[in-house]
Structure 1
Amino acid sequence: MIADVLADAKDKMNKAVEVAKDDFANVRTGRANPALFQKILVDYYGTPTPLGQLATMQNPEARMLIITPFDKSALREIEKAVANAQHIGASVGNDGTIVRAILPELTQERRKEYVKIVKNKAEEARVSVRNIRRKAKDDLDALKDELGDDAVARGEKELETLTKSFVDAIDEALKRKEAELLEV
Structure 2
Amino acid sequence: MNNETIKKAQDNMDKSIKVYQKRLASIRAGVANAALLDNVQVEYYGAPTPLTQMSSITIPEPRVLLITPYDQNSLDDIEHALLASNLGLTPANDGKVIRLVIPQLTGERREEIAKEVGKYAEDAKIAVRNVRREAMDALKKEQKDGNITEDEQRNLEKQVQKITDDSTKKIDQLADEKRKEITQG
Q: How high is the TM-score relative to the length of structure 2?
A: 0.74
Letter in 2 for 1:178: R
The residue that corresponds to 1:57 in the other structure is 57
Q: Does 1:171 align with 2:172?
A: yes
Question: Does the Cα contact within 8 Å between 1:126 and 1:170 map onto a contact in 2?
Answer: yes
Structure 1 counterpart SS, 2:146 = helix
RMSD (Å) for aligned C-alpha atoms? 3.1
- Count of aligned pairs between the two proteins: 181
Deviation at 1:145, TM superposition (A): 0.6
Letter in 2 for 1:162: I
Could you list the runs of 5+ residues in structure 2 that have no partner in the other structure?
Answer: none
Question: Does the Cα contact within 8 Å between 2:125 and 2:171 map onto a contact in 1?
Answer: yes
Q: Distance in 1 between matches of 2:171 and 2:130?
A: 15
Question: Residues 166 and 2 (structure 1 numbering): CA distance in 2 closer, same or farther, change over 3 Å?
Answer: same
For residues 103-148 of structure 1, the C-alpha deviation after alignment (integer angstroms, 9 at most, x for no partner) is: 1122212322321332233233223323322432343344231325
Deviation at 1:73, TM superposition (A): 5.8
Question: Does the Cα contact within 8 Å between 1:42 and 1:77 map onto a contact in 2?
Answer: no
Q: Does 1:160 align with 2:161?
A: yes
Could you list the runs of 5+ residues in structure 1 that have no partner in the other structure?
Answer: none
Pairwise mapping of residues 80-119 of structure 1 onto structure 2 (< 5 A)? 80-83=80-83, 86=86, 88-95=87-94, 97-119=96-118
Q: How high is the TM-score relative to the length of structure 1?
A: 0.74
Pairwise mapping of residues 132-171 of structure 1 onto structure 2 (< 5 A)? 132-143=131-142, 144-147=144-147, 150=150, 151-171=152-172
Q: Distance in 2 between matches of 1:50 and 1:116?
A: 29
Q: Distance in 1 between matches of 2:32 and 2:14?
A: 29
